[in-house]
Homo-oligomer: A and B are copies of this chain.
Amino acid sequence: MHYPNGKKNNGFHQPSATNRSMGFSNRGMTLEEDINATNKFYRDTNKAVIHKKPTPVQVVNVHYPKRSAAVITEGYFKQPSTTDYNGVYRSRHIDFEAKETKNKTRFPLANIHAHQINHMKSILNHGGICFLIIRFSVYNETYYIPAETFFPFWDGQFNDGKKSIPYETIQNKGYKIPFHLQARVDYLAMIDQLYF
């Protein structure tokens, strides 16, 4: 079997059952889908317990029909105050945020919010392992960026005004995450290298 990783894809990101069943890399899967599948694989194989947090919803109105489930009839998406993923691996607390960009040359810092940065700084401060997963979807490349590597770029925007990180910098300072058929974004491989 061949998995033509690293080949440029066509830029479209609709999930494609055909491609998947034919084993053609993860082209067409969103980063979130890939990470959710990876986390499920980690749980199923008893390797780690890591979940995506539910999207926070502010519920305004709920209708309670007789003899059936409550229906939310008015609700709003709230901005998350933390990162999207956390859990435990080899007794360490794991916490990360994942973003993909269609940009070919840089990762725009606007993808991350200030309160998420504050959260990540606190996690590190309390001994957790904290990082970002950034995918350049046009290259189908996914990088592991330690939070402590990311912070200077985030903080720098308020001094030098640079609102993005160049693709080359992420290639140099980040770690390219391997793709495996089941651990599609095998970020624990990076953690094994960096922390154990």
Which residues of A line the B interface, CB within 8 A?
43, 46, 48-49, 51, 53-57, 59, 69-78, 80-82, 86-95, 119, 122-123, 125-128
Contact = CB atoms under 8 A, between A and B. Distances in A.
A95 B86 CA distance: 11
A82 to B, nearest CB: 6
Given A46-B122, A51-B82, A75 B89 contact: no
A77 B73 contact: no
As for how many copies of this chain the complex holds, the number is 2
Contacts of A119: 49
A54 B43 CA distance: 21
Most chain B CB atoms below 10 A, which of A48, A88, A122: A88
A77 B88 CA distance: 26
A44 to B, nearest CB: 11
Contacts of A126: 48-49, 88-91
Given A55-B57, A122-B46, A88 B82 contact: no
Contacts of A89: 126
A48 B93 CA distance: 12
A122 B72 CA distance: 32
30 contacts: A46-B122, A48-B126, A49-B119, A49-B122, A51-B81, A53-B53, A54-B55, A54-B56, A54-B57, A55-B57, A55-B59, A57-B57, A57-B72, A71-B74, A71-B75, A72-B76, A73-B73, A73-B74, A86-B86, A86-B87, A88-B93, A88-B127, A88-B128, A90-B126, A90-B127, A91-B127, A91-B128, A92-B93, A92-B127, A93-B94
